[in-house]
Amino acid sequence: MDILFGLKKLLGMSLMSVPLILIGLLLAGFFYRKRYVKLGRILSLFSITALFILSLSPVTDALIRPLESQYPAYQGQPVDFVLVLGGGHSTANERPLSSLLSGTSLSRLTEGLMIYRANPGSKLLLSGYHGDDIESHAKAASRVAIALGVPESDIYLAEEVKDTAEEARHWVKFINGAKFALVTSAMHMPRSVYLFKKEITLQQGE
């Protein structure tokens, strides 16, 4: 894995709620050892309380809902391309093909295939690089799509893109103004739409 990309992913993961809480607990232990007992107690109490609150489904649902509800589901609009953004996968020959993709990635691909089949003549665009795996995510997703009946000639891959920003740069240029459906997780959609709109504006201004 590219070192800079790995550091970027690690930093992004560390800024999520649970890692931040764990960092808070580690800091609390550090302050205890340095005899800042009061500060250590406050930080540990805050961290444990935050972890408990975030473990409650009503709280997490309320936090996620604004992100998930910003964009509607596909409404049957005609499109030329169906773009499924990359996710997680794990190649293991002893596992069935249905276990190749993570649950999130399989959900994205399933939605993408439904839109693809609703638009005869459209093409399926799959992206995602290999990470620490022996094959790229795009290739893994294509294997599942082909097994589910999509002709290989209808599939285009971007196997070197590492994140959503790179996916936007690659596919906006490839699509070249054609109509497309963007498929990703509901919570990820606002950021994805922002990056794709930004890239479309940039490339139109060139």
For residues 3 and 44, the model is more confident at 44
Q: First-to-last CA distance in the chain?
A: 32
Q: What is the C-alpha separation between 11 and 157, in angstroms, rounded?
A: 28
Q: What is the DSSP string of 134-168?
A: SS-HHHHHHHHHHHTT--GGGEEEE-S--SHHHHH
pTM higher than the cut 0.75 = no
pLDDT tens digit sequence for 141-186: 999 999 999 999 999 999 999 889 999 999 999 999 999 999 998 8
Percent of the chain beyond pLDDT 90?
41
The per-residue pLDDT for 37 is 79
Answer yes or no: are the C-beta atoms of 150 and 116 closer than 8 Å: yes
For residues 92 and 169, the model is more confident at 169
Residue type present at position 125 = L
Does residue 15 carry a pLDDT above 50? no
